[in-house]
Amino acid sequence: MRRTRFTLTALIAAMTLSAQTIDRTRPPQTGALPPFKLPPVFETVLPNGLRVVLVEDRRFPLVTLRLAFEAGAKFDPEDLPGLSEAVGSLLTEGTRARTSRQIAEELADIGASMRAASGPDGLTVSAGALAENLPKLLDLLADVTLNAAFPEDEVKLYRNRRTQELLAERSEAAFWADQKITAVVFGSHPYSRENPTPESIAKLDRKALAQFRDIHLAANNAVLILLGAIPPREQTLGLIRRRFDAWKKQPLAARPAPRFPAAARSITLIDRPGSVQADIRVGRLSVDRLDPDYFPVVVANTILGGGASSRMFMNIREKQGFAYDAHSSNAPRKNAGLFTTVTQVRNEVLEPALKAVEAELDALVKQPVAESELEDVKNYLSGTFVLGLETQAGLASQLANMKLLGLPESYLETFTARIRAVGPAAIQKAAARYMAAGGASIVVVGDAAQIAKTLEKFGKVTLEKAE
């Protein structure tokens, strides 16, 4: 009994002492994340130039695939912006052998999904199904890729739907702000043309769609990522060869030259009479993912405006109350990137709000980031990156992007280490090159009668109309 009483007393004393040494005003420290380890990857190239990447993942009886082409909006003819987007949307809407409805019904019968979408650099067909239905999924993939017919009734339906969507988009100030900052930063490069126009949608026809498909959706311009509970390697390659061997290799279109305007101060005001708020974008040309400055820019952007704990959010929204939304973004492309800050403010606080944005940009250049803030951001970026690779879809998409953008094979496994290697000096250097307010372009969408004179305090203003 005495021993039990002594043991209990000692235990209570130890717990009391332990409780006294814990500082409950501070969150617990985050332990180091283990680096991401890529599953075994097999890659080969078929005689027609089709690159095939196979990754086994037997956690679930599923397969996920990506068929990616360097065939994005940068290849749109100047008078047909939105062509790549339309090709992606219409690929699955009818082939020589199947109608749109038949494709949808066959996908539903095997519990599969399939869609295609276009971005600045690439056009990607995404699909997934139960592993046992892989042969049927590959049948459908080959059919929509090689034999899309772009039926006239589907093209007409797309023109009508996309026109209505565009009208809705153009009614929003944010659309004009995003479109203009992209055009200013990228200049005459095709990256500047992200959206279709009413005129280009009206001009879409089967001939233009088929011509784009025939030029850009070639075997030697494609990479097929197949991930999941796939059959043994030779059996899987046999399934792929039987469906894609007849796909012809062909000469590829020249890539647009990576020529962009030098960074320079400019201010553009897009007049939108009656607006009670101003949509502000401050933007600069940024880096692609192969640039050594890419990781410092990613970290700097997250510190500045990458979430609810970022500097812009905490100062411009929470402390000053200037805006409901205050964030920044860094969008890399194959040959460049676009860095922007985004705010929407009341007309009467335009001046202090824009000054606050510029002050936050310049603070990244002038003052080293505190270690505690930097560590929090590194933990956040590392954690979200690794978490995004946990699903088949997330990993397949990252692998497809790696191939499209020409990233090294080690990219995924070294991402978190390279994020953690970024120091305060590297952030200041990158911010000075790609984020400082002095060389930034400013775009504001709002009522010129209300805000033009305020904006002129920041420099010479070019006035345009929201058409």
Q: What is the pTM of this model?
A: 0.90
Q: With H, G, I as helix, E, B as strand and everything else as coil, classify residue 273.
A: coil
The per-residue DSSP string of 209-238 comes to HHHHHHHHS-GGGEEEEEEESPPPHHHHHH
What is the fold, at CATH topology level, of the domain defined by 266-369+423-465?
Cytochrome Bc1 Complex; Chain A, domain 1 (3.30.830)
The per-residue DSSP string of 165-184 comes to HHHHHHTSHHHHHHHHHHHH
d(Cα 244, Cα 218) in Å, to the nearest integer? 11
Q: What is the pLDDT of residue 21?
A: 61
Q: Residue 453 pLDDT more than 90?
A: yes
Burial class (CB in 10 A: 0-12, 13-18, 19+), 387: exposed
Evaluate whether 41-244 and 266-369+423-465 have a shared fold: yes
The per-residue DSSP string of 93-154 comes to SBBSS-BHHHHHHHHHHTT-EEEEEE-SS-EEEEEEEEGGGHHHHHHHHHHHHHHB---HHH
d(Cα 20, Cα 10) in Å, to the nearest integer? 15
Q: Are 442 and 282 in contact (CB under 8 A)?
A: yes
Each domain of the chain, given as residue ranges in start order, spans 41-244, 266-369+423-465
Per-residue tokens: 205: 């026809």
Architecture of domain 41-244: 2-Layer Sandwich (3.30)
The per-residue DSSP string of 3-69 comes to HHHHHHHHHHHHHHHHHHH--TTSPPPPPPPPPP-PPPEEEEE-TTS-EEEEEE--SSSEEEEEEEE
- Residue found by looking up tokens 């805000």 in the block: 451
Q: 15-64, pLDDT tens digit by residue?
A: 554 555 666 666 666 566 667 888 999 999 999 999 999 999 999 999 99
Q: Are 281 and 340 in contact (CB under 8 A)?
A: yes
Helix axes 371-388, 424-434, angle to 10 degrees: 80
Q: What is the pLDDT of residue 3?
A: 46
Q: What is the pLDDT of residue 20?
A: 53
The per-residue DSSP string of 291-314 comes to STTHHHHHHHHHHHHSSTTSHHII
Q: What's the rounded mean pLDDT across residues 83-100?
A: 97
Q: Residue 128 pLDDT more than 60?
A: yes
- Residue found by looking up tokens 């929407």 in the block: 344
113-118: strand order across its sheet: 41-45, 51-56, 222-228, 62-69, 123-130, 113-118
**Chain-wide mean pLDDT for the chain?**
93
Q: Are 261 and 187 in contact (CB under 8 A)?
A: yes
Per-residue tokens: 113: 């999904």
Shortest CA distance to 358 belongs to which of 285, 293, 442, 427?
A: 442
Burial class (CB in 10 A: 0-12, 13-18, 19+), 325: middle
Q: 208-244, pLDDT tens digit by residue?
A: 999 999 999 999 999 999 999 999 999 999 999 999 9
Q: Residue 6 pLDDT more than 50?
A: no
Q: Which residues contact 255 (CB under 8 A, 6 or more apart)?
A: 70, 74
